[in-house]
């Protein structure tokens, strides 16, 4: 093996939303990274905007592992909130029956997208006792109170650090001056106010969906759910917390308030937020109806890896505009990479000496790729390291200058890259069946004889068998679709 192909041991830098700058990453305990990622609300199929965020989190997770960290990732499933309750009541189903198909679809979709599984996927409804204990402690410590509507609210006045993440100035907003509180799970910065921890039962709104608690019948608020699950599974302080930018306020701001009021400890060391997937300048969202699910794209003939590549190849803090041209672009980039892999796999010249130029290209590739990722997941530069390597190797091979050993090392480097990118295909294709090979030859013969009808018929039969015909300098060859 050529020297210099090991992953370098270098510091990682991440942009911390709280500090508004890139910071060197140092987890609390030497090698273990505790990471909490807000998961899907299972009232519908997740759309590819949601998956942009989950693919970014997967890139982060894989990068940490690439650099030798062990990761304990928790991703919650929000199966009780305003939206799931509304959906279940509307269809006269139990919350469990209503959310189950969407939970299953989510797991199926992340597999298709090559997202590595998190260590835990807690569903909010499995943590109600922990949530009740959490709220009780906040009441006991004077941070929470019961209002006239019997719901329990968090008093942001009692938590002077409120607004730290989203850089809100409470004094300027005059919060707490009036009697402002908000019972909805989702609201905006215009409505900074006390927020709900336990929502009292309302028979017309909640029907059969409620839990008993010392504060009366009801159900937890969405923000509280994440704090309680993070605390139960990862402890009082965690290293990284992620989500998309729309989670910064109020969701993550409220999580900080609840968690730090609860434990008197710092909750999160690094906050990382991804920008949105947009369509014509607007956030892709269910409420705007401008969304595609993964299934929609699979039905249009794209593969999971093509969608993954499209979502991954733009830096996570830059908005990504979804278009079908973008999907085609992702398809052709992946095709180039996979064709390169096939080309390297086909090199069989064991005796020639190693190419010096190949060696140098290999030695540049891993450090460049690693440094790019270590710089706040700079995926464009990381991918440039890959394309540069491919370019140099392709030119060398055009001159027949590569040995089997060079090719094996290039494949090794691509396998290392793929630990992070997770899109490449190393499986060598089985040779096409003999009868198709014969058909291809008959078709060539028919074309030579200008028997277009027969040539066309053979072409249809080959395509129908799942193969494409590709022109190469050595004549046409069959390629699996
Ligand atoms: P939800 O299921 O609505 O709770 O959203 C799940 C996750 O997807 C959250 O972290 C959202 O911030 C994120 N998200 C929603 N829409 C988009 C989008 N268009 N682009 C990127 N992330 C999104
Ligand atoms: Zn959350």
Q: Where are the beta strands (DSSP E) in 307-439?
A: 320-321
Q: Are residues 252 and 306 in the same domain?
A: no
Residue 283 in contact with ligand 1 by CB distance below 6 A: yes
Q: Are residues 466 and 373 in the same domain?
A: no
Q: Are residues 303 and 277 in the same domain?
A: no
- Nearest atom within ligand 1 for CA of residue 245: 12
Q: Which residues pair with 29 in a beta bridge?
A: 32
Q: Are residues 278 and 392 in the same domain?
A: no
- Ligand 2 centroid – CA 108 distance (Å): 21
In a domain, 1, yes or no: no
pTM summary value: 0.88
pLDDT in tens, 36-77: 999 999 999 999 999 999 999 999 999 999 999 999 999 999
Q: How confident is the model at residue 177 (pLDDT cuts 50, 70, 90)?
A: very low
In a domain, 390, yes or no: yes
Q: Are residues 225 and 94 in the same domain?
A: yes
Q: Are residues 269 and 414 in the same domain?
A: no
Of 221, 255, 283, the residue at which a domain comes to its end is 283
- Ligand 2 centroid – CA 173 distance (Å): 25
Of 283, 308, 343, the residue at which a domain comes to its end is 283
pLDDT in tens, 312-346: 999 999 999 999 999 999 999 999 999 999 999 99
Residue 38 in contact with ligand 1 by CB distance below 6 A: yes
- Nearest atom within ligand 1 for CA of residue 277: 20
- Ligand 2 centroid – CA 93 distance (Å): 25
Q: Which residues pair with 195 in a beta bridge?
A: 154, 182
Residue 246 in contact with ligand 1 by CB distance below 6 A: yes
Residue 34 in contact with ligand 1 by CB distance below 6 A: no
- Nearest atom within ligand 1 for CA of residue 40: 2
Residue 389 in contact with ligand 1 by CB distance below 6 A: no
Tally of domains in the chain: 3
Q: Are residues 236 and 197 in the same domain?
A: yes
Q: Cis peptide leading into 125, omega within 30 of 0?
A: no
Per DSSP, helices labelled H in 144-221 are: 170-173, 203-206
Nearest-angstrom CA–CA distance, 420 and 383: 11
Can you say how many angstroms the Cα of residue 335 is from the centroid of all Cα atoms in its chain? 22
- Ligand 1 centroid – CA 53 distance (Å): 7
Q: Which helix (H) or strand (E) holds 306?
A: helix 304-312
Of 257, 283, 309, the residue at which a domain comes to its end is 283
Which range, of 211-215, 289-293, 456-460, averages the lowest pLDDT? Answer: 456-460
Q: Are residues 311 and 455 in the same domain?
A: no
Confidence check: pLDDT of 427 > 80:
yes
In a domain, 188, yes or no: yes
pLDDT in tens, 230-277: 999 999 999 999 999 999 999 999 999 999 999 999 999 999 999 999
In a domain, 221, yes or no: yes
Q: Are residues 213 and 70 in the same domain?
A: yes
Q: Are residues 364 and 471 in the same domain?
A: no
* Cβ(32)–Cβ(391) below 8 Å: no
- Nearest atom within ligand 1 for CA of residue 37: 10
The residue with greater pLDDT, 478 or 65, is 65
Q: Is 286 left (phi over 0), alpha (psi -120 to 50) or beta?
A: alpha
Q: Which helix (H) or strand (E) holds 74?
A: strand 70-75
Please tell me the residue having the least CA distance from ligand 1 atom 7: 50
Token digits of residue 330: 């992702």
* DSSP code, position 120: B
Whose CA is closest to 339, among 429, 416, 404? 429
Residue 47 has a pLDDT of 97
What is the CATH classification number for the domain harbouring 266?
Answer: 3.40.50.620
In a domain, 382, yes or no: yes
Between helix 304-312 and helix 48-66 the angle, nearest 10°, is: 80
- How many H-runs (helices) and E-runs (strands) does the chain carry? 16, 16
Q: Are residues 53 and 165 in the same domain?
A: yes
Q: Which helix (H) or strand (E) holds 62?
A: helix 48-66
Residue 244 in contact with ligand 1 by CB distance below 6 A: yes
Please tell me the residue having the least CA distance from ligand 1 atom 15: 50
Q: 129 Cβ partners below 8 Å, 6+ apart?
A: none
In a domain, 457, yes or no: yes
Residue 435 has a pLDDT of 77
In a domain, 4, yes or no: no
Domain encompassing residue 407? 294-421
Q: Are residues 324 and 198 in the same domain?
A: no
């Amino acid at each position: 093996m050529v020297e210099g192909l090991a992953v370098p041991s270098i510091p990682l830098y991440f942009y911390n939303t709280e500090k508004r700058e890139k910071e060197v990453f140092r987890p609390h305990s030497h090698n273990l990274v505790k990471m909490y990622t807000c998961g899907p609300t299972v009232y519908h199929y997740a759309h590819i905007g949601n998956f942009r965020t989950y693919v970014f989190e997967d890139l982060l997770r894989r990068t940490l592992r690439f650099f030798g960290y062990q990761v304990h990732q928790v991703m919650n499933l929000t199966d009780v909130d305003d939206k799931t309750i509304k959906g279940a009541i509307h269809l006269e189903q139990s919350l469990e029956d209503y959310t189950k198909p969407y939970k299953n679809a989510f797991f199926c979709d992340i597999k298709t997208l090559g997202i590595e599984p998190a260590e835990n996927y807690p569903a909010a409804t499995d943590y109600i006792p922990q949530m009740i204990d959490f709220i009780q402690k906040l009441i006991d410590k004077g941070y929470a109170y019961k209002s006239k509507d019997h719901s329990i609210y968090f008093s942001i006045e009692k938590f002077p650090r409120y607004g730290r993440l989203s850089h809100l100035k409470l004094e300027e907003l005059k919060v707490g001056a009036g009697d402002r509180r908000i019972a909805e799970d989702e609201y905006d910065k215009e409505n900074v106010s006390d927020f709900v921890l336990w929502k009292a039962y309302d028979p017309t709104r909640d029907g059969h969906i409620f839990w008993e608690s010392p504060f009366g019948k009801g159900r937890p608020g969405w923000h509280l759910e994440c704090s309680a699950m993070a605390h139960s599974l990862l402890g009082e302080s965690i290293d990284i917390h992620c989500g998309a930018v729309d989670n910064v306020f109020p969701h993550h701001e409220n999580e900080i308030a609840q968690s730090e009021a609860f434990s008197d400890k710092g909750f999160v060391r690094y906050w990382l937020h991804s920008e949105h997937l947009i369509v014509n300048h607007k956030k892709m969202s269910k409420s705007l109806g401008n969304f595609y699910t993964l299934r929609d794209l699979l039905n249009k003939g794209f593969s999971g890896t093509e969608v993954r590549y499209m979502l991954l190849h733009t830096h996570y803090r830059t908005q990504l505009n979804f278009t079908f041209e973008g999907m085609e672009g992702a398809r052709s980039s992946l095709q180039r990479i996979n064709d390169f892999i096939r080309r390297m796999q086909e090199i069989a010249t064991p005796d020639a000496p190693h190419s010096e130029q190949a060696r140098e290209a290999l030695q540049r590739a891993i450090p460049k790729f690693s440094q790019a990722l270590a710089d706040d997941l700079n995926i464009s530069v990381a991918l440039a390291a890959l394309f540069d390597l491919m370019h140099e190797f392709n030119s060398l091979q055009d001159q027949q200058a590569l040995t089997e050993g060079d090719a094996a090392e290039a494949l090794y480097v691509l396998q290392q890259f793929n630990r992070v990118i997770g899109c490449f295909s190393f499986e060598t294709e089985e040779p096409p069946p003999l009868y198709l090979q014969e058909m291809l030859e008959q078709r060539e013969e028919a074309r030579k004889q200008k028997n277009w009808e027969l040539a066309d018929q053979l072409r249809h039969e080959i395509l129908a068998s799942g193969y494409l015909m590709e022109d190469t300098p050595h004549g046409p060859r069959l390629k699996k679709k």
